[in-house]
Structure 1
Amino acid sequence: MTERFLRIRRRLIGVLIALCAAALMVLGAAGTAAAHAALVSTDPAQNSVVPSAPTAVTLTFSEGVTLSADSVRVLDPAGKQVDAGDSGRADGKGDTARVTLRPGLGNGTYTVAWRAVSDDSHPVGGAFTFSIGAPSATVVPADSAQGVKTDGLISFMYDTGRVAAYAAFALLAGAVAFVLICWPAGAAVKQVQQLLVGGWLGLLLSTLVLLLLRGSYERGSKIAQAADPALAHVALDGRIYTALAVRLLLLALSGVYLAVLVGQLGQPGEERPAGSRLGVTGVLLAVGLAATWVGTDHSAVGIQVWLSLPTATLHLLAMAAWLGGLVTLLVGLRQGVGAASVRRFSRLAFGSVTVLVLTGVYQSWRGVGSWSALTGTEYGRLLLIKIGCVAVMLGAAWFSRRWIARPAADGADGAAGLRRSVLVEAVVAVAVLVVTTMLTSAPPGRVAQEVAALPPGPVAAVGRAVELRLPYETGGRTANAKGVATLGVAPVAVGNNTVRLRLTDPAGQPVEVAEIELTFTLPAKDLGPLTVALKAEGTGSWSGTAQLPLAGEWVASVAVRTSDIDQATSVQQLTIGS
């Protein structure tokens, strides 16, 4: 067993080196891919002044979106809703939203608040303004503005449910694969049966939680409204609901399958090989469950969907076989799993990792597309973190080979060493699952770069000015990790405001940073964040235009990133007069 295991490990490392080299070449020559809806253009244009009242407001997104009747709302300078409440498509195009305006609109600044669900199942929202004739003061009552943010508690609970669902699926599918392929006799072991039931029950409960929270997650409502029948109806209309409902159906079938699996393989006596029917049925159920994820995430939109869907399915299945198998192996090592079973899992892990790397290279090319997006976007940075975690897991697996040769000679000490190395792999696997969930929530590189490239709005006349000082400290070790963001705003009134942003170190010298973002939020009206398109004007200096449509206590937020992992956000209130 030892020599064969070592040969497999050597081949694995060689294949990984070759695939990493291929990944470098692919990323170097890559194009871009799309997912995660972002607002690309509007008609009337954001911050524009039109001579006469338009008949409708049209929004165009980077991908298809799902709309409700009130997805787009338009408020006049007095806060009155002036749209017809008929949010729909523009010319039937799935990546657009249009709402008709009532006739006879007067001059002034109008606020457009919108919220939709992108084709990859993520809710998106925002707000912008345009003016008819000339800008004006706008006072919108708090109960008239449409919220564009998802409640923080709802987001946390929903994201936690998604992580739990991924983990439970990996445990369920990986444990089944381990029993079928590596250790059929393990079906009779109580601890292995507990893993199977735990994975199934965890996936069932997390899916029910996601169904309960989906309506509130899409509409941005509070936790107290999670059981609102109207919000439940919103969830029932969406594609994500269909996927979750199918998952529940497959889980019902999986429960029967687990009972049959344990019933056939878990009888006392000689170890029974898994039958072909059990294997084929298990594969079909696993593929079906995996499809309930990939059919509603980034893989379902953008370029080469025909290839992305099966690739993402294979990636998820390989992840489950490796990570869930590791947990089952850890239990098996404590229950006296045989050397032949360990050898079979080494082959299973080798195949799983190979599939993971191959499919991961393709998905990375599709989601990132360029070197600049790999380091300059949230998606790219999360991808680097995931690659790092997987590298740590591979390192732990490499050290495990030193213990494989010892159990026969060293007895309990060698087996304990192997258990420890497998435990390290399993612990890091949890981090991989968390980062994977974050990746599915982050807009891929191309979309982030498209949004950043949008031109700034028209510049307002400079009047009264206010200067805010926002100290920041990212925790890094570079010279720019600590300093002050100085934000100038003029004329500090409703409408267009010129903003100038400077970053200086503790000595007062201007500094460059990897990324900077400026947003404004009006908490009392649940409006924002409104992102300001910044234009660089030299070292540590940027300018732009903030269209602030309402009077009130705004919150200015400056997010500074000084390295791939060091980031800080500073906030300060700013009073905008009418």
Structure 2
Amino acid sequence: MRHGRGSLDRHHGRGKCRDAGPEGHADRRRRAPALIQALGGGQSLAPAPFDEPEPVPLMPRLLPLFALVLSLLWAAGLAQAHAVLQSADPADRSVLEAAPARATLGFNEPVAPLAIRLIAPDGSETDLTAAVPGGQVLSLPLPPLGQGTHLLSWRVASDDGHPVAGALVFSVGAESGVAPMSSGNRAVQAAVWAARWAMTAGLVLGIGGAVFAAFTGAPAQRPVAAALQTGLLAAPLYLGLHGLDALGLALPDLLTGAPWAAGWGTSFGPSVALAMLAAALALMALRLPRGALAASLAALALLGIAYAISGHAGAAAPRALTRGLVFAHLAAAVLWIGALAPLALSLRGGTAPLARFSAALPYPVAVLALSGAGLTAVQLGADPAQWPSAYGAILAGKLALLGLILALAVQNRRLTAPVLAGDAPARERLRRGIHAELVLAVLLLALTAGWRFTPPPRALAMAAPAAAPAYAHLHSDTLMADLTLTPGRAGPVTAELFITDGTGQPVDPFAVTLALSLPDRGIERISRTATAIPGTPGLWRVEGLVLPVPGRWSLTLDLRRTRFTLVKLGAEIVIN
């Protein structure tokens, strides 16, 4: 939110003592213009009293802090992405002549096993978790296996802290029925989402409010302290619920020690510890007569590190870049969103905090936009076929909410100058506008908490196996065609056609048109003209073809032998 800069007349007392109490707050207010000058690179909104030394810009002091933060983020780990299963032996849906003695699961990065179970055809289970050390390849000793279909269910913790789960089915001798594997507990997942929302909202509003109070001297202890206490209570609860979800347990199991140990064993353990330390430091800053600004900025840095060392975004490659972007994105959001509640409260008194906030805000907003664009580019990845996902839906909702917030911010900016000029009705409208901005921001945090359950498209692209081509044979009494779609999965594909006559001799028609449709999904004909491949009789190609969803597609091939003779061939082809 960018509020306009207005004139501000402010009286500075002389010879004030810089101790606790009203004098301490007055001293903090006297130092605030120097902060705005340092952040904005321009002139302070109010002159410093002549008996104080020239203010020292804060940005040179902060640069070593940010350099230290980035170096810590660089050294925090070596994993390159969200864990993805890349190989399995036995292969999924394979039928083996003899029972294997071991099974192996290969991932793109080291993982920690959380729960690994083998389910026999009769529904009996064998827990293999304790027998498997962590690593990039998990080697699982199997008990003696009988005939029939077995299910190997696995759940591991990736380096970004999130649980990754899956199952593979294999059969010994012949296929048979197998007991179904239970899906994730919806009640647990709802509790995980709510706890993460409460933790993030409390920490963002609380630490951002503490920084705002230190910058401006605005009295905001009660709402800021309440937000920080909410974050402090929700953080350990989130850690336990995260462990509960990682192990696939039910809510009553939260009273046991296993989920807490599992949660602490992931990267979310240190992350939650740092977040709680940041909240405690911000609470202390609210009560400090001196050093509140330094303490609140340190809390902000700790919170940025906490969120950068865990989660999908911080685990993406290149690690130094993505963790730095997460740190910058979160810090900018804290400075903006966290200031809204105390800013609205401060309008009941003077307008000095509004003027200072208005002058400083463009900098975190710019950082927020640039870092958000960088993270979006990394997380979406290079395969557009993976973008329409649950992650993409949350991203679209976030951008829509952000657009509404920015529209409110523009309206609030127009009210700033009248408020600074003493317009009472404009002040009340501005307060209501800031409250609306705050509500939308909290809803935005609720929406982004859902990313906890949605691997980004870049991870989905890694998980997607190299799809084998899809084939179809079309024929009539006089012509035949063999169609190959590469790859044989939804997304961009290339079609190749080999056309022959009834004797198998290559034929080059006057024109070839390929059309595909998926009536079950309401997708009408997608028609493309094929191009003959020079030097290879009978071979035609269609490029730039996109099949958006999997399914059993109907295809039609129009072969125009002459200008007046048309042969139509039809068939179906399965796209994964």
- Structure-2-length-normalised TM-score: 0.66
Matches within 5 A, 1:347-386: 347-370=359-382, 372=384, 375-386=387-398
Deviations 1:173-227 (A, max 9, x none): 211121122x21x23xxxx111121121111111132133233221111112111
Q: Residues 434, 64 of structure 1: CA spacing in aligned structure 2 closer, same or farther, 3 A cutoff?
A: farther
Matches within 5 A, 1:388-467: 388-407=400-419, 411-453=423-465, 455=467
Q: 95, 98, 109: which one pairs with 1:49?
A: 95
Q: 295, 299, 303: which one pairs with 2:317?
A: 303
Please identify the structure whose Cα radius of gyration is greater: 2
Partner of 1:160: 194
Q: CA deviation at 1:163?
A: 0.7
Q: Residues 113, 457 of structure 1: CA spacing in aligned structure 2 closer, same or farther, 3 A cutoff?
A: farther
Contact 2:131 2:141 in 1 (8 A): yes
Matches within 5 A, 1:28-427: 35-68=81-114, 71-81=115-125, 86-88=130-132, 94-102=135-143, 105-132=145-172, 134-140=173-179, 147=182, 149-181=183-215, 183-184=216-217, 186-187=218-219, 192-260=220-288, 264=289, 277-333=291-347, 335-338=348-351, 340-370=352-382, 372=384, 375-407=387-419, 411-427=423-439
Deviations 1:545-565 (A, max 9, x none): 9xxxxxxxxxxxxxxxxxxxx
Q: Residues 505, 67 of structure 1: CA spacing in aligned structure 2 closer, same or farther, 3 A cutoff?
A: closer
Q: CA separation in 2, counterparts of 1:301 and 1:3?
A: 38
Q: CA separation in 2, counterparts of 1:120 and 1:155?
A: 18
Matches within 5 A, 1:471-486: none
Identity over aligned pairs, percent = 26
Q: CA deviation at 1:164?
A: 0.9
Aligned residue identity for 2:97: P
Q: Residues 538, 282 of structure 1: CA spacing in aligned structure 2 closer, same or farther, 3 A cutoff?
A: farther
Q: Residues 80, 381 of structure 1: CA spacing in aligned structure 2 closer, same or farther, 3 A cutoff?
A: closer
Q: CA separation in 1, counterparts of 2:457 and 2:240?
A: 31
Deviates more, 1:216-225 or 1:318-327: 216-225
Q: Which has the higher contact order (CA 8 A, sep 6+)?
A: 1
Contact 1:503 1:541 in 2 (8 A): no
Aligned residue identity for 1:99: L
Q: CA deviation at 1:535?
A: 6.7
Which structure 1 residue ranges, 4+ long, deviate > 6 Å from structure 2?
A: 456-459, 508-515, 539-542
Q: Secondary structure at the match of 1:131?
A: strand
Q: CA deviation at 1:4?
A: 4.1
Q: CA deviation at 1:353?
A: 0.6
Q: CA separation in 1, counterparts of 2:222 and 2:450?
A: 28
What RMSD, in angstroms, separates the aligned Cα atoms of the two structures?
Answer: 3.7
The aligned length equals 429
Q: CA separation in 2, counterparts of 1:316 and 1:237?
A: 24
Q: CA deviation at 1:319?
A: 0.3
Q: CA separation in 1, counterparts of 2:389 and 2:303?
A: 30
Q: CA separation in 1, counterparts of 2:301 and 2:467?
A: 44
Q: CA separation in 2, counterparts of 1:295 and 1:368?
A: 20
Q: CA separation in 1, counterparts of 2:469 and 2:92?
A: 7
Q: CA separation in 2, counterparts of 1:457 and 1:78?
A: 36
Aligned residue identity for 2:276: L
Deviations 1:362-420 (A, max 9, x none): 11111112472574222223223222222221111112222123236672211122223
Stretches of structure 1 that go unaligned for 5 or more consecutive residues are 13-32, 265-274, 460-500, 518-533, 546-578
Q: CA deviation at 1:322?
A: 0.3
Q: Secondary structure at the match of 1:45?
A: coil
- Structure-1-length-normalised TM-score: 0.66
Q: CA deviation at 1:317?
A: 1.1
Partner of 2:542: none
Q: Residues 3, 172 of structure 1: CA spacing in aligned structure 2 closer, same or farther, 3 A cutoff?
A: closer
Aligned residue identity for 1:355: V
